[in-house]
Amino acid sequence: MRSLKFLIVIFLAVNFANCQAQKQPNIILIVADDLGWGDVGFNGQDKIKTPNIDLLAKQGMVFNNFYAGSTVCGPSRASLMTGMHMGHSTVRGNPRWTATGKPVDITKEDVTIAEELKKAGYQTAMIGKWGLAENLEEGRPNEQGFDYFYGFNKHRPAHHYYPDSIYENNKKLVIDGNNWKKKEKHYIQDMFTDKAKNYLRKQNDKPFFLYLAYTTPHYELTVPEESKKAYRALDWPLREMKPRHYLHDKNGHVTYAAMVSRMDQQIGELMSQLKEQGLEENTIVIFTSDNGHEYDNVKNEFFNSNGPYKGRKRDLYEGGVKLPFVVKWPKKIKPNTYSNHISAYWDLLPTFCDVAAMNPTANIDGISMLNSFKGKDKKQLIHDYLYWEFNEGRGPIQAIRKGKWKLVKRYQKDFELYNLDEDEGETKNLASENSKILDDLKTKLVDARTENENFPLIKLNPNKK
């Protein structure tokens, strides 16, 4: 009898140990704002120093074909949170760009990453720029599955780096001593980093999801002076920035580079905190951006922020939607590797569900990337196509990617068809030479979307009340 009891105890102990070893991984998703594909060292940037982000790339896997949900932040973040592309998303444009001119937020019917992960036992936190609760109602992070929130609900307040106030959960807090007009006292990116580090210090044996959405390097261009020192010494040509709504610092090139490098340094601090807490081995860390760059002048490039690609923010060419993307997962993802799997923002929700050993609740557009994470591209499900639409000043514009082919339809312009395998810069329109492919993609362009009264594909007037 004693032997039987002993065996039972050993069996239970082994199973407990196995359960501990198989604990669901923590997930940290870090998103920059308006950071171009080419603004990081691992994608060839040689002026702006990003050693900590580049280290993540060496320790993990770089995705060479990862795309934003949209070419501007609001709809892109909605796609990220809900697993829907622009043909089905609740939010398809930034606040003013709706049929009524009134902002549209995600709703209680939308199922977010945070809501899904909470069902799997995760703690959830959102720190930084949310941008999906312009109406301060059901779109707020605490109403969308996040246990903790510190940041901007709306877009416009996030345009300033020394805000007078910030939200913690659903409470608006005054930031002591801050003056956004004079750019005094606490730099909000520093505060986001401190909150994220404090959040890590509080973690124990329960899995967590931390969504850290920096506003760097979105306009306005400003950063504490100590971050500029290394770049001032390089004697770069002056690109003078004029302060208007955005209270830019004068020296654009130096400021932009310093903002990115300060964020990189803070990501390094976060990774050190993760290691100090003993959480590194069981944490997935992802770094990416929300859409293409805005700062670099594509007609007179200095940083080459879009690398070999055409366009920038507000374009549906590659430079507007292709993103830097790196994922690190110790002992699960082989270090210093890459994947050419074609994926997008709407794939992260099902990927995180897959990681948490659950299925998504809603019928979504995303496909889990987990097999690609693990180097099993041959087993990875692939998209039939990726779809985008965008309707601001030059809109409406639509685009679709199917394998190597990319179709772009601009307002009152002919269709553009590109072979991305042979022409990644989208320089040669092949529409007249490939009628069968063109017809197929034109059909998909129609089938990819459902009508949405808030976001019709007609010319919009942002001043309409």
Domains and CATH numbers, the chain: 25-384 (3.40.720.10), 389-447 (3.30.1120.10)
Residue 354 to residues 14, 198, 281, 371: CA-CA distances in angstroms?
25, 28, 19, 10
Structure tokens at 164: 């007078």
Residue 465 has a pLDDT of 52
Over the chain, what is the mean pLDDT?
94
Nearest CA-CA partner of 115 in 134, 88, 91, 143:
143
CB 103 within 8 A of CB 132: no
Residue 464 has a pLDDT of 62
pTM: 0.94
In this prediction, residues 218-244 reach a mean pLDDT of: 96
**pLDDT (tens digit per residue) in 302-341:** 999 999 999 999 999 999 999 999 999 999 999 999 999 9
**pLDDT (tens digit per residue) in 170-191:** 999 999 999 999 999 999 999 9
Backbone angles phi, psi at 73, to 5 degrees: -70, -45
Q: How far apart are CA 209 and CA 25, in angstroms?
A: 9
Residue 461 has a pLDDT of 82
Residue 158 to residues 67, 175, 292, 456: CA-CA distances in angstroms?
23, 14, 18, 27
Non-local (6+) Cβ contacts of 184 within 8 A are 162, 177, 178
Q: Are strands 397-402 and 405-409 parallel, antiparallel or unpaired?
A: antiparallel
Asked if pLDDT for residue 370 goes beyond 60, the answer is: yes
CB 441 within 8 A of CB 403: no
